[in-house]
Amino acid sequence: MAKFTIQPGDELTAQVKEDMTKQFKGKVMKNYENSAMLEITEFDAAVDGPNVPELNGRIVVSFKNVLAVNGNPVKSKDEVGPAPKPEDDLPEKKRA
Protein backbone atom coordinates (compact mmCIF):
# COMPACT_ATOMS: atom_id res chain seq x y z
CA MET A 1 0.00 0.00 0.00
CA ALA A 2 1.55 3.27 -1.14
CA LYS A 3 1.14 6.59 0.58
CA PHE A 4 0.79 9.72 -1.54
CA THR A 5 1.30 13.13 0.02
CA ILE A 6 -0.21 16.05 -1.83
CA GLN A 7 1.26 19.55 -1.77
CA PRO A 8 0.20 22.77 -3.49
CA GLY A 9 1.49 22.71 -7.06
CA ASP A 10 1.06 18.94 -7.54
CA GLU A 11 -0.80 17.74 -10.65
CA LEU A 12 -3.74 15.42 -9.93
CA THR A 13 -6.02 13.40 -12.16
CA ALA A 14 -9.47 13.01 -10.67
CA GLN A 15 -13.10 12.34 -11.42
CA VAL A 16 -16.04 13.97 -9.66
CA LYS A 17 -19.23 12.69 -11.26
CA GLU A 18 -21.42 15.33 -9.61
CA ASP A 19 -19.67 18.24 -11.35
CA MET A 20 -17.54 16.86 -14.19
CA THR A 21 -18.64 13.96 -16.40
CA LYS A 22 -15.18 12.77 -17.44
CA GLN A 23 -11.76 12.60 -15.83
CA PHE A 24 -9.83 15.85 -15.61
CA LYS A 25 -6.46 17.13 -14.49
CA GLY A 26 -5.81 19.96 -12.10
CA LYS A 27 -3.11 21.70 -10.10
CA VAL A 28 -3.45 21.70 -6.30
CA MET A 29 -4.12 25.20 -4.99
CA LYS A 30 -4.90 24.38 -1.35
CA ASN A 31 -5.09 21.31 0.87
CA TYR A 32 -7.82 20.50 3.31
CA GLU A 33 -8.02 17.60 5.76
CA ASN A 34 -9.66 15.10 3.37
CA SER A 35 -9.72 17.03 0.09
CA ALA A 36 -7.89 19.54 -2.08
CA MET A 37 -8.88 22.55 -4.16
CA LEU A 38 -7.73 22.18 -7.75
CA GLU A 39 -7.36 24.63 -10.58
CA ILE A 40 -8.72 22.67 -13.54
CA THR A 41 -6.02 22.54 -16.23
CA GLU A 42 -7.10 19.77 -18.66
CA PHE A 43 -10.60 18.49 -19.35
CA ASP A 44 -12.79 17.10 -22.14
CA ALA A 45 -14.06 20.33 -23.73
CA ALA A 46 -16.77 18.60 -25.73
CA VAL A 47 -18.42 17.09 -22.64
CA ASP A 48 -17.40 19.28 -19.70
CA GLY A 49 -16.77 22.59 -21.48
CA PRO A 50 -19.83 24.34 -19.98
CA ASN A 51 -19.09 23.04 -16.48
CA VAL A 52 -15.63 24.60 -16.07
CA PRO A 53 -16.71 28.27 -16.33
CA GLU A 54 -19.62 27.51 -14.00
CA LEU A 55 -17.07 26.23 -11.45
CA ASN A 56 -14.82 29.27 -12.07
CA GLY A 57 -12.06 26.89 -13.16
CA ARG A 58 -11.76 25.43 -9.65
CA ILE A 59 -13.10 22.37 -7.90
CA VAL A 60 -12.71 20.71 -4.50
CA VAL A 61 -11.91 17.01 -4.83
CA SER A 62 -12.04 14.39 -2.10
CA PHE A 63 -8.84 12.36 -1.84
CA LYS A 64 -11.04 9.29 -2.49
CA ASN A 65 -11.64 10.58 -6.04
CA VAL A 66 -7.97 11.09 -6.94
CA LEU A 67 -6.85 8.73 -9.72
CA ALA A 68 -3.22 9.86 -10.18
CA VAL A 69 -0.69 12.11 -8.44
CA ASN A 70 1.99 13.67 -10.67
CA GLY A 71 1.40 10.89 -13.22
CA ASN A 72 1.61 8.03 -10.69
CA PRO A 73 -1.63 5.99 -10.57
CA VAL A 74 -3.43 5.71 -7.25
CA LYS A 75 -4.84 2.27 -6.48
CA SER A 76 -7.93 1.66 -4.36
CA LYS A 77 -6.01 0.74 -1.16
CA ASP A 78 -3.41 3.53 -1.41
CA GLU A 79 -3.45 6.35 1.12
CA VAL A 80 -3.73 9.90 -0.19
CA GLY A 81 -3.41 12.86 2.14
CA PRO A 82 -1.96 16.33 2.54
CA ALA A 83 1.71 16.75 3.31
CA PRO A 84 2.27 17.47 7.00
CA LYS A 85 2.47 21.15 7.85
CA PRO A 86 5.72 22.33 9.39
CA GLU A 87 5.17 23.21 13.00
CA ASP A 88 5.71 26.83 13.88
CA ASP A 89 8.95 27.22 15.77
CA LEU A 90 7.76 29.97 18.04
CA PRO A 91 9.90 30.75 21.07
CA GLU A 92 8.22 29.88 24.31
CA LYS A 93 6.95 32.81 26.28
CA LYS A 94 8.95 33.33 29.42
CA ARG A 95 7.39 34.49 32.61
CA ALA A 96 8.87 37.57 34.18
Strand-by-strand arrangement of the 35-42 sheet: 58-62, 35-42, 24-31, 11-14, 66-69, 72-73
Domains of the chain and any CATH numbers? 3-75 (2.30.30)
Confidence of residue 1 (pLDDT cuts 50, 70, 90): confident
Side-chain-side CA neighbours of residue 13 (13 Å): 12
The per-residue pLDDT of the chain, averaged, comes to: 88
The string of DSSP codes covering the chain is --EEEE-TT-EEEE--TTT-SS-EEEEEEEE-SSEEEEEEEE--HHHHTTHHHHTTTEEEEEGGGEEEETTEEPPTT-EEEEPPPPPP-PPPPPP-
pLDDT (mean) for 58-83 = 90
Contact, 80 vs 66, CB < 8 A?
Answer: yes
User: What percent of the chain has a predicted confidence (pLDDT) above 90?
Assistant: 66
